[in-house]
Amino acid sequence: MVDGDKSAFLVGEASHGHHQIELSCATCHTEPFGGTEVLQDACTQCHQDELESAHDSHPRKKFSDPRNADLLNVLDARYCVSCHSEHQKDDTLPMGVTVSDDYCFHCHQDIADERESHQDLDYMSCGSAGCHNYHDNRALYEGFLTKHAQEPWLDDIARIGQANYASGHASKSREQDQKAEQEEGAVESKAFHAENPTQHAQWSQSVHEVAGVDCLDCHRDQQTSDGWITEPPMTVCSDCHQNESETYQQGKHGMRLAQGLSAITPSMARHEFVEGSGDLNHSCSSCHDSHDQNTQVAAVEACVGCHADEHSTNFVDSPHGHQWQQFQDGLIDAEQAVSCATCHMPRMTVDNLHAGFALKEWQENDDASAEAIEQSVFVNHNQNDNLRPNEKMLRSVCMNCHGLPFAIDALADDALIQRNFTGQPEAHVESVDWALDRLKPNKAE
């Protein structure tokens, strides 16, 4: 049964976030008879870095304080599984929560006494969009709300910042490439060029050609330096694109690969997909053509080529979709365009020394200074990183173009989200109003 079908052992369907790997039992149950502590270690193994980067507002150490011991009798918040129990489909709420929505009340029963604005609020509404997130409240802190309270709904100049993606990626050494050309296997590369003029033409206009990555860099067996690989595995991509590969395997598209399982197909997911796409294995080449590396195709066409949910299908006719088409038509610059990837796969800045490529080689080959390439921009390929709860998108995406008050209202309007933000938000979240009200002199709250 080590490598066999373990479905008979499932005690219930896994949550939306984990159902892809529910048959990889050892991912969470790292010891056969492990209890809560073992499961806690499994949770932090995957999610600890995310919680730390979010400045977790409810870290475990807060509940290990003896002064909070009485609270643990009601809800032991030291453990993830207290609120996120798997295999309980009928009792699982959004975000994999398996406790009642009034869980905030257990610790904050006196909030109405402290804040006049909260007196008549329903105890089930604390986690409503635009109010409070249990783990990540950075975009909802009072100081942040008041700092951005007067921002217009749309900036005059959007700050999307479509940085030159290619410039942050170093090539393999040209000396190494030239040496490869002298090897016997290089004949196969030249033959491939001659026999496949379309692929060669695409490659010659691609980032790979600019970076000096030739056919053999991907199509040759790197361990034996011999033989031609017709369809290179994903590990070939990750050799140069380490950050992209790591974040890809953290998201829904690649999480099965991270656990040694087969690649996901749309038929395995719990969304609506384009008819005929159900059996397509997801990999780097699902979105990126192996030779022409057209990132514009990957930014929109690849997404709507599979996803058929209402939000995705409405993109083309949405204000964001119109901007994207204007960019495609050459009417606006890339910095003003909004694609699926702009919001769901935002760019991140990293130190090049940890970016998965050789800084020294890049300097030698292109005569660049260390200061010019000290940091690099890459695309976060974990498309779920800022997806839920959706307020996580406020700081990293929405506020690049929109003011905070408008963005909060927009993300709180489910119907507007389904229309892919076509129209104005009909909902209004009072968080900013309350924060400003507390700044008034002699305010009791």
SS (H, E, C) the chain: CCCCCCHHHCCCCCCCCCHHHCCCHHHCCCCCCCCHHHHHHHHHHHHHHHHHHCCCCCCHHHHHCHHHHHHHCCCCCCCHHHCCCCCCHHHCCHHHCCCCCCHHHHCCCCHHHHCHHHCCCCHHHCCCCCCCCCCCCCCCCHHHHHHCCCCCCCCCCCCCCCCCCHHHCCCCCHHHHHHHHHCCCHHHHHHHHHHCHHHHHHHHCCHHHHCCCCHHHHHEECCCCEEECCCCCHHHHHHHCHHHHHHHCCCCCCHHHHCCCCCCCHHHCCCCECCCCCCCCCCHHHHCCCCCCCHHHHHHHHHHCCECCHHHHCCCCCHHHHHHHHHHCCCCCHHHCCCHHHHHCCEEEEEHHHCCCCHHHHHHHHCCCCCCCCEEEEECCCCCCCCCCHHHHHHHCHHHCCCHHHHHHHHHCHHHHHCCCCCCCCCCCCHHHHHHHCCCCCCCC
Which pLDDT value is given to residue 420? Answer: 97
Assess if residue 5 is contained within a domain. Answer: yes
Question: Would 415 be classed as within a structural domain?
Answer: no
Q: Is residue 380 part of a domain?
A: yes
Task: Choose the final residue of a domain: 52, 75, 99.
Answer: 99
Give pLDDT tens digits for 310-349. 999 999 999 999 999 999 999 999 888 999 999 999 988 8
225 and 116, same structural domain?
no
Q: Are 310 and 431 in a shared domain?
A: no
Contact 401, 159 (CB under 8 A): yes
Q: Using pLDDT thresholds of 50, 70 and 90, give the confidence band for residue 216.
A: confident
- Say if residue 282 is in the same domain as residue 150: no
Kindly state whether residues 370 and 226 are assigned to the same domain.
Answer: yes
Average pLDDT, the chain: 83
Domain end position, chosen among 81, 99, 117:
99
Is 411 a member of any domain?
no
Please give the residue range of the domain that contains residue 14.
1-99
Residue 163's pLDDT is: 36
**Residues 8, 12, 16, 21: is their CA dihedral positive or negative?**
negative
Same domain, yes or no: 315 and 336 = yes
Residues 15 and 117 in one domain: no
Cα–Cα distance for residue pair 321/327, rounded to 1 Å: 10
Task: Tell me: do 325 and 364 sit in the same domain.
Answer: yes
Closest CA to 141 of 403, 428, 395: 395
Q: Within this chain, do residues 270 and 136 fall inside the same structural domain, yes or no?
A: no
Which is higher by pLDDT, 301 or 373? 301
The residue type found at 22 is E
Instruction: Quickly tell me which residue has 């790292």 as its tokens.
Output: 30
74 lies in a domain?
yes
Is pLDDT of 369 > 50? no
**Torsional sign, CA 43, 45, 47, 48:** positive
Q: How many CB atoms lie within 10 A of CB 37?
A: 10
Same domain, 296 and 194: yes
What pLDDT does 442 receive? Answer: 65
Q: Is the predicted pLDDT of residue 395 greater than 70, yes or no?
A: yes
- For the chain, the distance separating the N- and C-terminal CA atoms, rounded to the nearest angstrom, is 61
Asked if 196 and 80 sit in the same domain, the reply is: no
Answer for the pair 289, 297: CB distance below 8 angstroms, yes or no. yes
Whether pTM > 0.95 for this model: the answer is: no
C-alpha to C-alpha distance for 359 and 361, rounded to whole angstroms: 6
Q: Distance between CA 114 and CA 121 in Å, rounded?
A: 13
Final residue of a domain: which of 99, 122, 138? 99
With bands split at pLDDT 50, 70 and 90, how would you rate the model's confidence at 199? confident
Residue type for 343, please? Answer: C
Quote the tokens at residue 3.
């490598």
Same domain, 217 and 140: no
- Pairwise CA distance, residues 213 & 361, whole Å: 13
Q: Is residue 417 part of a domain?
A: no
> 172 in a domain, yes or no?
yes
Residue written as token pair 């997909």: 273
> In this predicted model, which residue has the larger pLDDT, 97 or 174?
97
Q: In sequence order, what are the residues at sequence separation of 6 or more whose Cβ sits closer than 8 angstroms to the Cβ of residue 443?
A: 437
pLDDT at 41: 94
Residue 83 makes CB contacts below 8 A (sequence gap 6+) with 75, 77, 97, 98, 99, 103
Same domain, 90 and 186: no
Per-residue pLDDT, averaged over 228-239, amounts to 86
Distances (CA, A) of 301 to 203, 314, 316, 346, 403: 20, 13, 10, 17, 28
- pLDDT confidence bin for 180, thresholds 50/70/90: very low
Position 397, amino acid: V
Q: Give domain status of residue 416, yes or no.
A: no
- pLDDT digit string, tens, across residues 35-67: 899 999 999 999 988 888 888 999 999 998 888
Q: Of the given ranges (9-13, 35-39, 292-296, 425-429), which has the lowest mean pLDDT?
A: 292-296
Q: How many domains does the chain have?
A: 3
pLDDT of residue 377: 82
Mean pLDDT of 144-161: 81
